C-alpha cells in the first residue's frame, strides 16, 4: 500500500483537469458573426455577462429611441461596441 505523505493529488491519483475545453476558433467565429448578441460569451460559459451585454444593447436601443435619439443611445452603443471589441482580446483567456 502507498504511504501517505500529505499530498492528496499524488496519493489519490486524481487529476483535476478541465474536461469541457471550448474551441477558441469556434468562439472567434461566434464573436465575428454573433458577437453583438454575446453568442461567444454564452458558448464559453459566461452566461451572466452575456445577459448583461444583451441587456445593455437592448436597453440602449429601447431607451435611446424612445427618448428620440437621446445621448443614452449613443453612450450605450459606444459602451456595447467597446465591450464587443474588448472581447476579441479576451476570448483566449476566457476559453481557458
Phi and psi for 7 in degrees, rounded to 5?
-100, 100
pTM, whole model, 2 decimals? 0.72
Q: What is the pLDDT of residue 12?
A: 59
With helix as H, strand as E and coil as C, how does 5-17 read? CCCHHHHHCCCCC
Domain ranges (residues) in the chain: 22-94
User: CA 85 to CA 31: how far, in whole Å?
Assistant: 9
* pLDDT tens-digit readout, 57-79: 898 888 877 777 777 778 888 99
Amino acid at each position: 500500500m502507498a504511504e501517505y505523505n500529505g499530498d492528496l493529488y499524488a496519493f489519490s491519483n486524481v487529476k483535476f483537469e478541465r474536461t469541457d475545453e471550448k474551441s477558441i476558433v469556434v468562439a472567434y467565429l461566434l464573436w465575428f458573426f454573433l458577437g453583438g448578441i454575446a453568442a461567444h460569451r454564452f458558448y464559453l460559459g459566461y452566461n451572466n455577462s452575456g445577459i448583461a451585454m444583451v441587456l445593455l444593447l437592448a436597453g440602449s436601443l429601447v431607451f435611446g429611441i424612445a427618448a428620440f435619439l437621446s445621448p443614452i443611445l449613443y453612450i450605450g452603443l459606444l459602451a456595447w461596441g467597446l465591450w464587443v471589441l474588448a472581447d476579441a482580446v479576451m476570448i483566449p483567456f476566457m476559453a481557458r
